[in-house]
Amino acid sequence: MAHLILASSSPRRRELLQQLGLNFDIFSPDIDESVHEGESVADYVERLARAKAQAVQDEYPDAIVIAADTSLSVDHHILGKPESKQHAFEMWQLISGRKHDVYSGVCVRTKQQICSIVVRTQVEFQSLSLDDMESYWATGEPIGKAGAYAIQGIAARYIPCIEGSYSNVVGLPLYETVQLLQTVKALN
């Protein structure tokens, strides 16, 4: 197999990709992650995944690049990573006691092909009290996580059910990633 690169510094994406038994390197590109005016969350995550893949492909033209971006959506709001404790609390107030959608855009790119997909998973979150929020924030886990939570960590206690791909909520939908790799003939 050709040189495989994961275009992400996320330890969660690295761990998920390792589950597939693949050998890969990591190169995290620096791209503008601003949301465009009127952009849907699905368009946003796909655009960012494609931009990350392009940036890495420019550096390593012979590589097969896997890039992803994950964000949440509730009431047409895109929820990315918290910028502060207050921002995390605002996000939790939006998702508390209700369902929200987690979207990941995944792009697999070679110099000959570009394949991408958007995967959606619905997550139900229990109602959070102020004490729940304070306690969860104090763990440090919400920092750097889309929606200010990690389903694979302590936040699992607040999530009664999901509909769709668990690995998508963690940050890289594995089934769909394998399908994209097979499409570009990176896997047999």
Q: What is the predicted pLDDT for the residue at 185?
A: 80
- pLDDT mean values, one per 10 residues, the chain (188 residues): 88 94 94 92 96 96 96 90 95 96 96 96 96 97 93 96 97 96 78
- Report yes or no: 28 and 7 within 8 Å, Cβ to Cβ: yes
pLDDT value at position 64? 96
Position 187 scores a pLDDT of 62
Catalytic sites, residue numbers: 69
Of residues 27, 23, 46, the one with CA closest to residue 35:
46
Q: What per-residue confidence (pLDDT) applies to 116?
A: 97
4-183 topology per CATH? Maf protein (3.90.950)
Q: What angle (nearest 5°) sits at the alpha carbon of residue 19, between those of residues 73 and 138?
A: 50
Q: Residue 1 carries which side chain, given as an amino acid letter?
A: M
Determine the pLDDT at residue 186.
64
For the whole model, what pTM was predicted? 0.92
Residues 36, 89: Cα–Cα separation, whole Å: 24
- Residue 179 and residue 184: Cα distance in Å, rounded? 9
First to last CA, the chain: 9
